[in-house]
Structure 1
Amino acid sequence: MKEDNHMEALTIKEIAEAVAGTILTGDGNMQITNVSTNSKKLEAGSLFVPIIGEKVDAHDFIPDAFENGARACFTSRHKEVTKDMNQAMVYICVKDTLEALQALGTYYRNKFNIPIIGITGSVGKTTTKEMVAAALETRYKVLKTEGNMNSQVGLPLMMLRLDSSYDIAVIEMGMSEFGEMAKLTNIAQPEAAVVTNIGVSHIGQLKTRENIRKEKLNIINSFQPGSALFVNGNDDLLSEIYTESKALQTRKDAAGNSAEEKDKEYSQNFGTIDLSSETLEKFYQSKVVGFGIEDTCDYRAENIKTSEGKTYFTLRKTKAQNATDGDGEEIVLQVLGIHNVYNALVALAVSELYHIPVSVAKEGLYNYQPIAMRGQIKEINQIRIIDDSYNASPDSMKSGIQVLLEMENISRRIAILADILELGELSYQCHYDVGTYIAEQKIDEVVTIGKEAAYIAKGVQDKNSGIVTHSFSSNQEAIQYLEGQLKAGDGILVKGSRSMRTDEIVKAFIE
């Protein structure tokens, strides 16, 4: 996939003003139609942004970028015109190239008055984004996050793909450290937001799930009064937010016209939920919608059944969500897993916010298919492989196991699981807990790859020695073992953190 951005043209002068930069050389009236951080993948008319990483300073690649078609570049290395600069090219001096990219993304986003829906959560951001987009696409032209462009670098590049032909955007927003979500929110300025769950991804940096919740909820910091926050009512920490929002509404209703005067008092009596002061202020002005299978949820699923690779459920809505429209509607998905039921529920809820009836949105959901390495089910020689190799967390591994259990006509169920990274000092316990969870399921065999994943096997064996376990240090070792073991009728799940490259295992059998 190309990383350059197709955007409506901006002049060099406009860009320099947007990022508080100085044009060192070149024509200020020249137009830019693409922005890229990759010096090798450039289209004509590109602005190259050299990012300074931990190991590489991309300023070294500025000459390559110009050779490959760039018209201009940001630079924090050149403070004045120097001999090594190509005088025919545009150099824009900025204090910090990453901050300049973010400022440009913010400036460009503000040129478009289209609604942006922000998607965050510890697990399932991409699948949720895809399903929300699938439902919205039944009526609108939707821009949605491509690949993994959900970070401090990727998000502003995604904003630069907006143009006036889009009606709405569904934007994934990921964070791994304190302060990151507030920056992303400032750039994308979502007017609606979905929080899928609060897990333990990145807990090595953020230390507690409560800290992760506090950080992720900064996604609402750009909200206007009446904006909608959608939360998973089956997540313990998000259900606290949902419950508090209902209690707040009750208090506001009781206060009548003096509700605004009471806001400050409410913010001082928020119980044990720790939110930033900015988030708190927005929370009191927002509409919070719960989705899940709990009776209290505004959008909930009943009568969940699976058959022949499809999931069926009945949508139920609370009176507050216009229960006469779409309540009791039968929903069919061509994917398995309870997590996809949650994804479908929030996709229907978001669609209704943007005036798409359930009867229409559900057609988009029926046509949804997983994208590469995100739960695709592949078949080769009568062996069915769930390719969920893109990434992993403890919660998503458990979800993957549930999909494996839901597959029909399987003679043996085998989980192939690699290390989950970024868990810090909780790594042993998290892996072990995945193992004890698997021990209670009807799984026949567990194959682990990596030092940390071996603790999954330990958890399985300590609880249920009837499940066969094998632990390997590399994908190649696991492949050699599996080549002699897999047979027709087997169902296997392949999952691990991205840098464990478990897609190598899938490719070994598919290609």
Structure 2
Amino acid sequence: MKRQLTELAGWLKADGQNMENTIVTGASIDTRTLSKGDLFIPFRGEQVNGHQYVQQAFDKGAAASLWLKDEPGAPADLPLIFVDDSELALQQLARAYRNELTCKFIGVTGSNGKTSTKDLITSVLAPHFKVRKTEGNFNNQLGLPLTILTLEDDTDIAVLEMGMSDFGEISFLSEVAKPHFAVISNIGEAHMQNLGSREGIAKAKFEIIDGLKDDGKLFYDGDEPLLRNLVGLHPGLQTVSFGYSETADLKLVKMESGDEGSNYKVTGIVEGDFTIPVFGAHQVKNSLTAILIADELGLSQEEIRSALLDASLTDMRMQPVISKSGALFINDAFNAAPTSMNAALSFLRETGLRKEKWAVLGDMLELGDNERTYHESIAHQLNKIQLKGILLFGPRMKWLYDELKKTGNGSEIIWSEDNYEPLIQELLAYSDKDSIILLKGSRGMALEKIMNGVMEA
């Protein structure tokens, strides 16, 4: 963004001071990550008042700042815009700037896999277009507007991740972004405590069509009956489905894991063989959207294939890491819900990358009233896998530990409620170059600390 401060004040219909000849090139709500030329946006909360950092923001190169009208002590010598509400002003700025941009917007949501899907779409398009994607967890009512305000005028494509924990949130983000393409990667169980059921989750994710352009398209998981039902309620909606289903517009017909990643074949809108340098059938499925959108934007099959070979995902998404002993960690510890847990365990069951298999699992959070049942049900998957060891971490994993003991799983099973050390020591003692070790748990469990403990020993 490169706009006169007076223009931003006009977007907000707000008054200001010292605005003449001030150019703003971005926006920030945190002085620690502020860039030169940013508009600083202070928030006033119960614990911290961002106005006390305004001078610091200017010292770090901020071009201007917002200032709440009812906040006393506005510095008379600084370029400021006076607003009633910082959050609403940020969102209003993003809406106005979005309306001036000519790039294609792609909105991505889903219970699991939205970050990987965003990364794969970006990887395929980046060699051929100027692409900007959501960084980190900037996928909410603050992060998405901030991402829009960082887009340069000549951006070709913006790939925006959209997260949520309750109804109405995806609708709001979609209305701000007004995507040309919308993606629903899948429907799982995350945020069940707020949304009540998988049906509720599907409806909340489907809100992504609320801001979809009139000629826009929805790309969705065709294996999910809940999404198929919702699509059926919108006969005028342009949709493209992907998955294993016979009726999918892009069908995954064959997949195998190799040392370099996952090889697979698709039929339908695109026909051919592809490879991604990532493990797991769920990641292959996430890549189908990238293939479809790249095809929609005119890339050839060979261009798509070549770009996928070099695809890179955000860390801790089925990320391979080799330890000093030669053991292969599959770090999928960014987050977990029953759907993604089953997908990761399916990979562990099917892979032949190493002959000795370990499952290191942490609590799945935010599952609501049925959380015990969801944790106990993992035993069914684990009992299908010949495992050298099952290492469980977190208070909820005690339910799975008891279930495994009850069903008589023959593997070595260790449970630790809040101490990583017993699990680290078990891996140090008994894993080696013949071992593959899956790490899977919710973000709050930080299971990567177990891998790091092994690496640093």
Question: Does residue 451 of structure 2 align to residue 451 of structure 1?
Answer: no
Compared with structure 1, are the counterparts of its residues 301 and 501 closer, same or farther at alpha carbon in structure 2 (3 Å cutoff)? Answer: same
Match of 2:187 in 1: 198
Match of 1:493 in 2: 438
Which of 9, 31, 45 aligns to 2:2? It is 9
Contact 1:39 1:64 in 2 (8 A): yes
| Superposition pairs of residues 76-155 of structure 1, within 5 angstroms | 76=68, 78-79=69-70, 82=72, 84-155=73-144
CA distance in 2, matches of 1:52, 1:432: 43
Contact 1:475 1:505 in 2 (8 A): no
Matched to 1:431, the amino acid is H
* Cα deviation, residue 200, structure 1: 0.9
Match of 1:62 in 2: 54
Match of 1:350 in 2: 293
* Cα deviation, residue 382, structure 1: 1.2
CA distance in 1, matches of 2:327, 2:46: 42
Compared with structure 1, are the counterparts of its residues 240 and 75 closer, same or farther at alpha carbon in structure 2 (3 Å cutoff)? Answer: same
Question: Does residue 329 of structure 2 align to residue 337 of structure 1?
Answer: no
Which of 36, 39, 45 aligns to 2:37? It is 45
Instruction: Report the secondary structure of 1:110's partner residue.
Output: helix
* Cα deviation, residue 241, structure 1: 3.6
Match of 1:401 in 2: 345
Match of 1:265 in 2: none
* Cα deviation, residue 20, structure 1: 3.6
* Cα deviation, residue 316, structure 1: 0.8
CA distance in 1, matches of 2:222, 2:241: 5
* Cα deviation, residue 69, structure 1: 2.9
Compared with structure 1, are the counterparts of its residues 75 and 207 closer, same or farther at alpha carbon in structure 2 (3 Å cutoff)? Answer: farther
* Same amino acid, percent of matched pairs: 31
Q: Which runs of 4+ in 1 moved over 6 A?
A: none
* Cα deviation, residue 378, structure 1: 0.8
* Cα deviation, residue 51, structure 1: 3.1
Match of 2:313 in 1: 370
Deviations 1:378-417 (A, max 9, x none): 1121111011122222211222223333443423211111
Deviations 1:203-248 (A, max 9, x none): 1111111111111111111223332111111223223345x2xxxx
Question: Does residue 299 of structure 2 align to residue 308 of structure 1?
Answer: no
User: What stretches of structure 2 of length at least 5 have no aligned partner?
Assistant: none
Which of 237, 244, 256 aligns to 1:286? It is 237
CA distance in 2, matches of 1:361, 1:179: 35
Contact 1:432 1:456 in 2 (8 A): yes
Match of 2:176 in 1: 187
Contact 1:44 1:71 in 2 (8 A): yes
Question: Does residue 380 of structure 2 align to residue 436 of structure 1?
Answer: yes
Match of 1:461 in 2: 405
Deviations 1:426-472 (A, max 9, x none): 22122222233222333332211111122232343333421332111
CA distance in 1, matches of 2:451, 2:28: 31
| Superposition pairs of residues 204-223 of structure 1, within 5 angstroms | 204-223=193-212
Matched to 2:197, the amino acid is T
Compared with structure 1, are the counterparts of its residues 35 and 224 closer, same or farther at alpha carbon in structure 2 (3 Å cutoff)? Answer: closer
* Cα deviation, residue 486, structure 1: 2.8
Compared with structure 1, are the counterparts of its residues 79 and 115 closer, same or farther at alpha carbon in structure 2 (3 Å cutoff)? Answer: same
Contact 2:103 2:154 in 1 (8 A): no
CA distance in 1, matches of 2:295, 2:365: 37
| Superposition pairs of residues 261-272 of structure 1, within 5 angstroms | 270=233
Matched to 1:79, the amino acid is D
Compared with structure 1, are the counterparts of its residues 211 and 87 closer, same or farther at alpha carbon in structure 2 (3 Å cutoff)? Answer: same
Compared with structure 1, are the counterparts of its residues 490 and 16 closer, same or farther at alpha carbon in structure 2 (3 Å cutoff)? Answer: same
* Cα deviation, residue 362, structure 1: 1.7
RMSD (CA atoms) = 2.1
CA distance in 2, matches of 1:11, 1:49: 16
Matched to 1:305, the amino acid is E
Match of 1:74 in 2: 66
Instruction: Report the secondary structure of 2:176's partner residue.
Output: helix
CA distance in 2, matches of 1:349, 1:454: 42
Matched to 2:377, the amino acid is D
Contact 1:419 1:452 in 2 (8 A): yes
Matched to 1:296, the amino acid is T
Deviations 1:72-92 (A, max 9, x none): 22233x437x4x332211332
